[in-house]
Structure 1
Amino acid sequence: MICNIDQTAKGEKATCYSLKNKKGMEVVVSDFGATLVKVLVPDRDNILRDVVLGYDTVEGYEQGGVHFGATVGRVANRIGGAGFELNGKEYRLTKNDNQNTLHGGIDYYNKRMWKTEQEDDTKVVFSLLSPDGDQGFPGNLKIQVSYELTEEQELKIHYDAVSDQDTIINLTNHSYFNLSGHDSGSVLDQEVMICAEAFTEADAESIPTGKIVPVDGTPMDFRKKKPIGRDVEEEYEALIFGKGYDHNWVLDGTGMRMVAAMASKQTGISMEVYTDLPGMQFYTGNFLEAEKGKDGAVYGKRSGACFETQYFPDAIHKENFEGPVLKNGERYETTTVYKFV
């Protein structure tokens, strides 16, 4: 259902779509950036709480630099040295994170109009053609991203892509969750669990070294749920480098499985994260600063937490990381689910 139409700086019509289920949950997405705009969930008192950070207008998403609700690609996270070799050919990318590439470079997918392929009361499908050479990557890449809301309180995000050349791809969603409500301030008292016995060590520029480090005995251990703020200020190298949690966890298991959970005692809202991917960037909004958001809210440091399911960062340069290479004609398919319980 169309819930709003806005206009971009280029004069394009940006449309929002509302998905609803019978339990009162509502999700709002936009064809500008294939963006997740709102997630409204009933709390313990049956009051709807919007649990993702965002903006009121398309102008906010155009100008904002923190990727609220964003579909991120062609390659999410970081590529060291802003380049890579594939099939014997070197490809140069945009340096937008020191000497590295972050989230595909500055020509972000979430700053583009996507085409609406399908929409009804429970599902929307967006598509984008990323041409050969786009952001520096090879191959004409045809992408579809679908958002589906189920009666089981699941928000399913499905990614589907094919390329006419070998390329690399790593799509994710960059929503910031605050289960006490997007406008409630810090998430440090909210509890998180991550099903991971290890994380990928990174240097001071957040580029993985290739070393996989056990979480046991470190502040990175979320195998049992704990408040985000319990260990976030520990004098631990990874936390010092990241200015808090901003790291890739090596998720337990394979195939579609639950990999993380978050809960707010204040509202009684809990969320489970499911994916079929090997890694997840858990990021605690360490660089948010006086960001003007929805409904007059101002988001400060650690006002939200991201659960970015992914292939490991800089995997193209690490032989021991599962590769993000998509072969010509093969299909890239992955699903992430945020389930509210």
Structure 2
Amino acid sequence: MKALQIRDFGTVKNEEMGRLFIMENEAGTTAAVTDFGAALVNLLVKDKDGILTDVVLGYDEAADYEAGTQSLGATVGRNANRIGGAAFEINGTRYELDKNDNEKNNLHSGMDFYNHRMWEAEEQEDGKITFLLESPDGDQGYPGNVAVRVTYELTEDNELRITYDGTPDQDTILNLTNHSYFNLNGHDSGDVLGHTVVLDADFYTRADAESIPTGELVDVTGTPMDFRAGKTIGEEIGGDYEALRLGNGYDHNWVLKNDGKFAKVAQAAGEKSGIVMEVWTDLPGMQMYTANFLDKEAGKDGAVYGCRSAVCFETQYFPDAVHHVNFESPICKADTCYHTVTSYRFRTA
């Protein structure tokens, strides 16, 4: 692994200077992450012709991430995805959250986003970079103090590995994810409808018109939600099916079959680049989102990102899991270590 490079990434509103931390392996694969939002900014991998291709959407400087509303590359917490009614109870105490989704639900923990904050960076001897955020009791409405740690590691096997850690001093929700938008043909190459996706999931969580789960697990067999054998994103995205109508495309949580073990759960392949990405995680769910609401978003290097110009694979506890006893609980008990790993592994077809 080559030495970690660090450069300035521009200032944000409070005049703090963001920094960009650049990891590169011997194969030339490069991952750049910033301490503003602990976000993934660039991820360059070689395509079938050996040409380095940036496969994640992003912005040119920290101020753009501060102004952005689409969570490009973001670390999302304390709770990724939605909580119905923007409130929950733990141990008989009710906690109120921001109503920032459909005027009554909570999305990605509210308006004081983790990805709009400066994190403390800690360089590791082995080339990893860890970002630390002190999240106090009451932060975003959640109970308990917790020091959240997010570690990025780029291996010689072309794996970008993201590890999340934290130990709260009260029972609280902990459910972090990475919200990178992937386009395996290149971040500026148009839509991803030709990408072939495989999801190792027999069920998805049905949701209502506001994307809040009903509690029902729906068998994917015979539906456009079945990606077990692999198919292009565009093959059935326009189908007359409730989930697709309500989500304006794919924006749903699939029930993974990894039984809590770190395993491969999904794969995507760029039809032009030949780049194949595997998704590995130990979490029970994954939201596949096909950027249905991106609209002329000004990105890095002069790119303009439109609807369905990327696909997200957000590993997670199920949306609104705190309200469904049949979903694995996102509550982390006091003095218990929250630890989870998600990785993206790259090769060419």
Look up the equivalent residue of 1:25 and give its one-letter code: T
TM alignment of 1:1-341, pairs within 5 A: 1-98=5-102, 99-119=104-124, 122-254=127-259, 255-341=261-347
Q: Secondary structure at the match of 1:230?
A: coil
Residue aligned with 1:177, SS? coil
Q: What's the offset of the Cα at 1:131?
A: 0.6
Shift of 1:266: 0.5
State the Cα distance separating 1:46 from its structure 2 match: 1.1
Preserved CA contact (<8 Å) 1:18 1:121: no
Unaligned runs of 5+ in 1: none
C-alpha distance in 2 between matches for 1:294 and 1:253: 35
RMSD: 0.8
How many Å separate the matches in 2 of 1:121 and 1:293? Answer: 31
Structure 2 CA distance for aligned equivalents of residues 64 and 121 of structure 1: 32
TM-score by length of structure 2 reads 0.97
1:4, distance to aligned residue in structure 2 (A): 3.1
| Cα distance in 2 between the residues matched to 1:5 and 1:285 | 26
Query: SS at 1:328's partner residue?
Result: coil
| Partner-residue secondary structure (3-state), 2:167 | strand
Tell whether the 8 Å contact from 2:8 to 2:17 is kept in structure 1 after alignment.
no
- Matched letter for residue 96 of structure 2: R
Q: Distance in 2 between matches of 1:333 and 1:129?
A: 16
Instruction: Report the 3-state secondary structure (helix = DSSP H, G, I; strand = E; otherwise coil) of the residue aligned with 1:62.
Output: helix
- Letter of the aligned partner of 1:40 in structure 2? L
CA offsets 1:258-280 (integer angstroms, 9 cap, x no match)? 00000012111110000000000
SS of the equivalent of 1:135 reads helix
Give CA-to-partner distance per residue, 1:254-300, whole Å, 9 cap, x none.
Answer: 20100000001211111000000000000000000000001100000
Alpha carbons 1:2, 1:18 under 8 Å: kept: yes
Whether the 8 Å contact between 2:58 and 2:72 is mirrored in structure 1 is yes
**Shift of residue 3 of structure 1?**
3.2
Give the 4+ runs in structure 1 shifted more than 3 A: 119-122
The one-letter code of the counterpart of 2:324 is K
How far, CA to CA, are the matches of 2:310 and 2:241 in structure 1?
A: 22
1:141 deviates by 1.2
Identical aligned pairs, as a percentage?
58
User: Alignment partner of 2:50: what SS?
Assistant: coil
The one-letter code matched in structure 2 to 1:78 is: R
CA contact (8 A) 1:140 1:165 kept: yes
Checking the alignment, whether the CA contact within 8 Å between 2:200 and 2:265 is kept in structure 1 is yes
What amino acid maps onto 2:230 in structure 1? K
Task: Give yes or no for contact 2:258–2:282 (8 Å, CA) kept in 1.
Answer: no
Deviations 1:115-166 (A, max 9, x none): 0122467310000011100110000111000000000100000000111111
